[in-house]
Amino acid sequence: VRVLLTGATGLLGRWIVHCWRPDDGTLIPTNSRGGTLGPHPCLALDLTDAAQVQLALDQSNPDLILHAAAISKPEAARRDPALAWHVNVRGTSLLALWCRHHNRRILLTSTDLVFDGQRGNYSEDASPSPIVEYARTKLAAEALVRDTPGGLVARVCLLYGPSLGGPPTFFDQALADLRQGRPRAFFADEFRTPLDLPTAARALIDLAHSDVAGTLHLAGPERVSRFELFRRLAPVLGYDANLVQPGRLADLPSPEPRPADVSLCSLRLSQILPELHRPPIEEAASRWT
Ligand SMILES: NC(=O)c1ccc[n+]([C@@H]2O[C@H](COP(=O)([O-])OP(=O)(O)OC[C@H]3O[C@@H](n4cnc5c(N)ncnc54)[C@H](OP(=O)(O)O)[C@@H]3O)[C@@H](O)[C@H]2O)c1
């Protein structure tokens, strides 16, 4: 099986490349500029360039597109909504159209932020109601993928773990502060169901090999705040847990609202991939040390 991965140079994409095993088939990593990704050549597939997308897909002829490219930061989408819609929605439509014409599958990585966060513990049949621009683009992209036969939308939770290259992430910067003994505040009143990156990457590869279609929530086993997440990570990584301090959403005014509780229910996932072990926070962290 030939799987074309978009966003291979992103946080999640790099972990997918890292977790890919020889028996998973042929992986075709792509990003917007091409180049190399460690030992792997990375094909140029700029989602804003329809002709290049068409050519890259025709030439590489994948059985499945694992679509992990996006303008993925809410703040970036707020600052440049036109670009976010261009990449996240029009770009997805190009991929979905190619899949429809060639009878191939597409798997989209969407987000827990499609929910407004009023309730939490969302299952797949809950009604999305995004309150930030980024999530509005992702919800529009979801519809395009669900309209493609065999298409799968995996709504991914907050992912945590070290990056494997690229610019430092929020997570990398937070750990750097703790390593250097600098106290740092984390929201204690915003709830997610975070999952570690290697487990998320493995789950997405396994889903790529499945024939699951529709919508699926891919999230961690526990509902926690960022404060609790880092408070529990710190001692496992050898840092002082007291440096992790509670903050409140209200302390950091932002131009867009932040959903208070977008925790996801992953019951369907555990039925589909019963062998997938989603580690609790301490266990996930102990694997990186
Ligand atoms: N990280 C999370 O916690 C999280 C949570 C929920 C959902 N997700 C979803 O998971 C996916 C991956 O997120 P991420 O955190 O890995 O994102 P990321 O680190 O920001 O990486 C984004 C990737 O998209 C590519 N990209 C951007 N613009 C492009 C364009 N015009 N054409 C082609 N590729 C383009 C980038 O390629 P270049 O290197 O060439 O720019 C990069 O490889 C996204 O769909 C995101 O919505 C992530």
6 C-alpha to ligand 1 centroid (Å): 8
Instruction: Note if the pTM is more than 0.95.
Output: yes
149 C-alpha to ligand 1 centroid (Å): 24
Using the atom order of ligand 1, give the atom closest to the CA of residue 47: 32
Alpha-carbon distance of 185 to 212, in angstroms, equals 40
| Intervals of the chain under pLDDT 70 | none
Determine the pLDDT at residue 214: 98
Q: Ligand 1 — pocket residues by CB below 6 A?
A: 6-13, 31-33, 45-48, 68-70, 72, 87, 109, 111, 138, 156, 158-159
Residue nearest to atom 12 of ligand 1 (CA): 68
* Burial (Cβ within 10 Å: 0-12, 13-18, ≥19) of residue 57: buried
Residue 254 phi, psi dihedral angles, 5° rounding: -130, 155
Determine the pLDDT at residue 39: 82
Q: What is the pLDDT of residues 224-281, one digit of tens each?
A: 999 999 999 999 999 999 999 999 999 988 999 999 999 999 999 999 999 999 999 9
Determine the pLDDT at residue 40: 85
Determine the pLDDT at residue 28: 97
Determine the pLDDT at residue 253: 86
Q: What is the pLDDT of residues 205-221, one digit of tens each?
A: 999 999 999 999 999 99
Determine the pLDDT at residue 289: 74
Determine the pLDDT at residue 288: 85
Instruction: Evaluate whether 26 touches 79 at the Cβ level (below 8 Å).
Output: no
Instruction: Evaluate whether 264 touches 224 at the Cβ level (below 8 Å).
Output: no
Determine the pLDDT at residue 170: 96
Determine the pLDDT at residue 67: 98
